[in-house]
Amino acid sequence: MRQKPIYVEIEMKSDLDTLWEYTQNPSLHKEWDLRFSNITYLNSQPCEKQKFLYETRIGFGLKVSGTGETVGVFNKCSSERSSSLAFGSNHPLSLIRHGSGYWKYIQRENGKMTFLTQYQYKTAYGLLGRWIDRLLFRPLLGWATAWSFDALRLWVEQNKHPKRFIRSAIIYVFMCLFFSLFWFYQGFAGVKTSILAGTAEIGLAILWLLPLKRKWIIHGVQACIFAGFARNIHVGSVECVFCCKRRS
């Protein structure tokens, strides 16, 4: 089954030239886009597509590299611009073999910009690569794109550098991992006494790992569960004190 392209759209307070500079200048682009650690433009002729090299650090001192080419299409008198690109990699750690996509910039009458992207790619490593992409890589890449667009918005609107945003995101990721491990433990320990409750707790652990857009719902559900735990502990403590007084 063919996967849908990744599509992300965001609205922000900006003008066309400013947003164009933040997204087309490679030294600025790499600051807000989680998908790239480094972008280097290569020398090209004015009438040629702009070729570039990219690198993405994946941790433990490892990085994935690739090549691409991009071209911008715009009219100074128009309120819209677009930029298309093609990319690919032969790196052994790259799940993406080759792909293409575009950015589109739309100036609204209310002074805001609509910035959107859509891209698609072919995976490496045959059936195994397609399943890894479907279950893990593509959802994470879509989340990274949406996160990067939001980091760009904060940088343009509020002058908050993405590195500050990244620190907050790292803390949130560790929080998600902590609660996921907590509920996995609770689920596997509780499934012996109640299959239904244990399964629900394991499901909650999985939800903490998924890049969901409405994760605040999980926060609310968990807050209610913890409030219930606290109430039960309080009631139990009161009953224990009452029983001790009666015995005395």
Q: pLDDT at position 199, please?
A: 85
In this structure, the chain runs to a length of: 248
Environment class of 76 (CB within 10 Å of its CB; exposed 0-12, middle 13-18, buried 19+): exposed
Identify the sign of the CA torsion 87, 89, 93, 96. positive
What digits encode the pLDDT tens for the residues 214-227?
A: 777 777 777 887 77
User: 177 φ, ψ to 5°?
Assistant: -65, -40
Q: pLDDT at position 239, please?
A: 52
The helix/strand/coil state of 111 is coil
Q: pLDDT at position 232, please?
A: 63
* Residues paired with 114 in a beta bridge: 11, 106
Report, as ranges of residue numbers, the positions in the chain whose pLDDT lies below 50: 238, 241-242
For 192, residues 6+ apart whose C-beta sits below 8 A from its C-beta are: 198
Q: pLDDT at position 241, please?
A: 46
Q: pLDDT at position 238, please?
A: 45
What digits encode the pLDDT tens for the residues 200-248?
A: 888 888 888 776 667 777 777 778 877 776 666 655 554 554 455 555 5
Q: pLDDT at position 125, please?
A: 94
Q: pLDDT at position 226, please?
A: 74
Provide the token pair at 76: 């100074």
* Residues paired with 81 in a beta bridge: 74, 105
Q: In angstroms, how far is CA 93 from the centroid of its own chain?
A: 20
